[in-house]
Structure 1
């Protein structure tokens, strides 16, 4: 699977100066990356990105960005047949207990899937959004290898990232 088009991310403003780093995910771990593994969690629609960034409580400040992407190969996490060789199901991907397992030092099946997919050369995985209230067709693209495959859309340098 390959994706070409726009991706979106609602960053914590702390990371707005490094929107391509994946360091927040590396520092704290995520559903599809263990602590220490950089990952970029993106969405195929801006409203999905906003839901993903504000899953708990009241809306918090975010910096919404877009990326032009041309990236692959991608694992199709929406296709049970694509997941089968990794020994996981769509229900495993949706399991809300992943964070508790990570914080208690237990194996996290979705993180193990990510490591196995990375070892097989996948740049990322397409998955449904598991954010509360997300429609059934809301999709995310979690990236593990994106260097040279994504460009931040910031034509007017609003983030002030261009080198002089």
Structure 2
């Protein structure tokens, strides 16, 4: 099956809750609640290929919540480009997967089509998927299921001045 292996670093943008500023590469929020491309219990990094898309996806069209936006670099990932209809057909999928009502499916005890695709991709050794943004037409996102483990892709945070905190000590309790 066709896949992308990035030759040069793929630049991604991640908007996330400032409280977790010291954990920019954690996928635990997605693991706790599940997401469009991951079932509950599976750590997943959700990021965008454009800064504006990261912001739009984070806020989901609702109230503009405070966010920390970080630039990431991804190297060596095996990604499925689900924005390409030809790639979707090769995986026996169609573009309707991008309109998956995954939250509604979960609420109705159904398995979302994106979770079925996730399982197939993981079984094939795929690290993540590129998919069109739901909240930012023309933008694209990446869901990454594997990073920074032996033999896997390398995901790093761009923080040249070391401004991100290393622990939760920078946050005070109210």
CA RMSD of aligned residues (A): 1.6
| Number of the residue aligned with 1:111 | 115
When normalised by structure 1's length, the TM-score is: 0.89
Task: Provide runs of 4+ in structure 1 moved above 3 Å.
Answer: none
Identify the match of residue 10 of structure 1 among 2, 15, 36. Answer: 15
| Number of the residue aligned with 1:130 | 134
1:75-103 Cα shifts (integer Å, max 9, x gaps): 110122322344321112222x2111113
Secondary structure of 1:121's match? coil
Secondary structure of 1:19's match? coil
> How many residues are treated as equivalent by the alignment?
158
| Number of the residue aligned with 1:23 | 28
Identify the match of residue 35 of structure 1 among 32, 40, 45. Answer: 40
Q: Based on CA coordinates, which of the two structures has the bigger radius of gyration?
A: 2
| Number of the residue aligned with 2:106 | 102
For residues 70 and 48 of structure 1, what CA distance do their matches in structure 2 show? 21
Secondary structure of 2:87's match? helix
Secondary structure of 2:74's match? strand
When normalised by structure 2's length, the TM-score is: 0.84
**Please, which runs of 5 or more residues in structure 1 have no aligned partner?**
none
